[in-house]
Amino acid sequence: MDTLHQNICIKPYKTLGRFIIALTIVLVGANFFIDQRESFAEYLLFAGNCIAMIYWAVAINTQKIVFSATSVNFIKMSVESDFALPRDLELSFDEINAVRLLGDHLFIYGTRGKVSFPLKPQSKTAIALKSAFEAHGIPFEINSSLVMHKP
């Protein structure tokens, strides 16, 4: 099957999400073996911390970038700034003018404006995005001093 007709799904924070899940499991498991809480408030604080970590892990694991045959979809991602609330955004490949990795941010310039989010130049996500955009005929420019060049 041709790669242009397959959906390509990229989860940018998959490793972080797995780490948070593992850390939560370890904390909950350790709670059963180390019982040093003396008051109900300490139990509530611990439970609140675990719930917050689970919520954070779920929020991180739902973030993804999906390439379809005609568009790229940013699902539950902060695409306006580093501190914006996550939302869904669909960009048709016809709307995209340029894709550039400048410094440690990916910028997608389109007819409706600019979308950006943090991205390390040599990360697995950057490599996957470069491949996916170029498979759809959109050049992916990397202009970052953070890229280490081999002599």
Q: Which CATH number does the domain housing residue 87 bear? A: 2.30.29
Strands 140-143 and 96-102 turn out to be parallel
Q: What is the pLDDT of residue 146?
A: 55
- Asked whether residue 42 is domain-assigned, the answer is yes
37 & 99 share domain:
no
pTM: 0.75
Average pLDDT of the chain to the nearest whole number: 83
Q: Which of 121, 94, 122 is nearest to 107 (CA)?
A: 121
39 & 80 share domain:
no
Q: Which domain holds residue 128?
A: 3-11+65-143
84 & 26 share domain:
no
pLDDT in tens, 81-103: 666 677 888 999 999 989 999 88
Query: How many structural domains comprise the chain?
Result: 2
51 & 77 share domain:
no
Q: What is the pLDDT of residue 78?
A: 75
Residue that is written with structure tokens 């016809």 in the block: 94
- Asked whether residue 148 is domain-assigned, the answer is no
Query: At which of 61, 79, 96 does a domain end?
Result: 61
Q: Is the pLDDT of residue 149 over 80?
A: no
Q: Is the pLDDT of residue 35 over 80?
A: no
Q: What is the pLDDT of residue 132?
A: 92
- Asked whether residue 149 is domain-assigned, the answer is no
Element (H, E) at 30: helix 14-33
Torsions phi, psi of 118, nearest 5? Answer: -65, 140
pLDDT in tens, 37-47: 678 888 788 88
73 & 134 share domain:
yes
Contact 99, 110 (CB under 8 A): no
Q: What is the pLDDT of residue 67?
A: 93
Confidence of residue 147 (pLDDT cuts 50, 70, 90): low
Query: At which of 26, 42, 61 does a domain end?
Result: 61
Confidence of residue 129 (pLDDT cuts 50, 70, 90): very high
52 & 112 share domain:
no
72 & 116 share domain:
yes
Q: What is the pLDDT of residue 150?
A: 45
